[in-house]
């Protein structure tokens, strides 16, 4: 009975994600950029609803996020263009989310968890964590995060099984071309080579070469991509990005300033949902009583299964 109930629940939840991914059609910057790639351009040929978060340079609008999601979408956009259909990011995102669920199950089984426990951890991550928020809405920012999560779990599965360093280098390179900060996962693989690996130094250097070759290639590709767009290999588009006033004010403290650390830790760990009051004077709550704080909600509220972990 419990097993059947679990199947019913998981089917319902995946149906829910499927419907939302196919329903949302706005903020499809990567699909529009894929269409630009097909036309030999690196800037938007069509306005993607708004120009928010884009970068205006030399009379054109560019997308500052990594190009890999658009590269993934390019063949799908090409085929859909043949039929005069717009290919939404959600059409692909749903299947990537399913891939994340299956990868977590495989990883858990690799770590000798039972089938039920493997299902629990996959369910917990996909439906009881912040991942749920990005998996149901295929906006470009979330689409890139879903791809990054899939690649990171794929890297972890490879690391726990075959541990082919060249393959790990490829997944890390693709992560770098999607969300560059997440490529820090390479530190795990470097520690494995130089600390956990008991082979001789010659073998370690060979593994290092296999790991870093795809990453170096990705760095070169991104440098060329930046230069082709902005005439500067270091400029990814954030300097002239069209952003809201509050975000611009925060950037005045420095994008990498430690001044942001206390606030980021607060919103990451402790921030609670915002209460909804009936009026501006009393503290009498009104439906729906609480709502999501757009600046962030602490992980103890969004991912309660971590307490159990």
Q: Determine contact, residues 260/253, Cβ cutoff 8 Å.
A: yes
Q: Which tens digit of pLDDT belongs to each residue from 267-295? A: 888 888 888 888 888 889 988 888 887 78
Structure tokens at 155: 């890297």
CA angle 21, 75, 171 (to 5 degrees): 80
**Quick check: bond before 288 cis, omega within 30?**
yes
Among residues 202, 200, 201, 170, the alpha carbon closest in space to that of 186 is found at 170
Instruction: Quote the pLDDT of residue 2.
Output: 62
Q: Which tens digit of pLDDT belongs to each residue from 4-59? A: 777 788 888 888 899 999 988 889 999 999 999 999 999 999 988 888 889 999 99
Whole-number average pLDDT of the chain:
91
Instruction: Quote the pLDDT of residue 158.
Output: 97
Show Cβ contacts of residue 97 under 8 Å, excluding neighbours closer than 6 positions. 17, 21, 126, 135, 146
Each domain of the chain, given as residue ranges in start order, spans 2-244, 258-308
Instruction: Quote the pLDDT of residue 1.
Output: 43
Length of the chain: 309
C-alpha pair distances (Å), 249 with each of 42, 53, 240: 29, 15, 14
Task: Give 275's strand partners.
Answer: 290
Instruction: Quote the pLDDT of residue 253.
Output: 84
DSSP, res 194: I
Q: Which tens digit of pLDDT belongs to each residue from 50-104? A: 888 899 999 999 999 999 999 999 999 999 999 999 999 999 999 999 999 999 9
Structure tokens at 183: 């490529």
C-alpha pair distances (Å), 95 with each of 14, 153, 156, 174: 10, 15, 19, 18
Q: Determine contact, residues 61/43, Cβ cutoff 8 Å.
A: yes
């Amino acid at each position: 009975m419990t097993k059947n109930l679990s199947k019913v629940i998981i089917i319902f939840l995946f149906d829910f994600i499927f419907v939302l991914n196919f329903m949302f059609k706005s903020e499809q910057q990567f699909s529009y950029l894929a269409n630009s790639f097909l036309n030999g351009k690196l800037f938007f040929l069509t306005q993607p609803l708004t120009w928010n978060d884009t970068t205006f340079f030399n009379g054109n609008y560019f997308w500052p996020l990594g190009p890999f999601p658009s590269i993934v979408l390019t063949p799908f956009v090409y085929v859909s263009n043949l039929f005069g259909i717009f290919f939404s990011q959600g059409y692909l995102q749903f299947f990537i989310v399913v891939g994340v669920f299956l990868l977590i199950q495989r990883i858990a089984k690799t770590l000798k968890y039972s089938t039920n426990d493997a299902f629990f951890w996959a369910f917990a991550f996909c439906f009881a964590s912040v991942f749920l928020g990005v998996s149901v809405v295929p906006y470009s920012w979330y689409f890139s995060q879903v791809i990054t999560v899939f690649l990171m779990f794929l890297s972890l599965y490879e690391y726990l099984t075959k541990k082919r360093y060249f393959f790990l280098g490829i997944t890390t390179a693709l992560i770098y071309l999607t969300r560059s900060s997440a490529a820090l996962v390479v530190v795990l693989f470097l520690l494995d080579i130089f600390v956990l690996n008991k082979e001789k130094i010659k073998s370690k250097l060979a593994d290092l070469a296999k790991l870093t070759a795809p990453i170096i290639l990705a760095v070169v590709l991104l440098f060329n991509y930046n230069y082709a767009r902005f005439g500067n290999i270091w400029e990814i588009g954030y300097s002239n990005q069209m952003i809201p006033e509050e975000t611009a004010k925060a950037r005045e403290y420095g994008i990498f300033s430690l001044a942001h650390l206390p606030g980021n830790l607060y919103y990451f760990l402790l921030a609670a949902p915002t209460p909804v009051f009936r009026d501006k004077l009393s503290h009498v709550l009104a439906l729906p009583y609480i709502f999501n704080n757009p600046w962030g909600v602490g992980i103890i509220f969004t991912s309660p299964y971590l307490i159990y972990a």
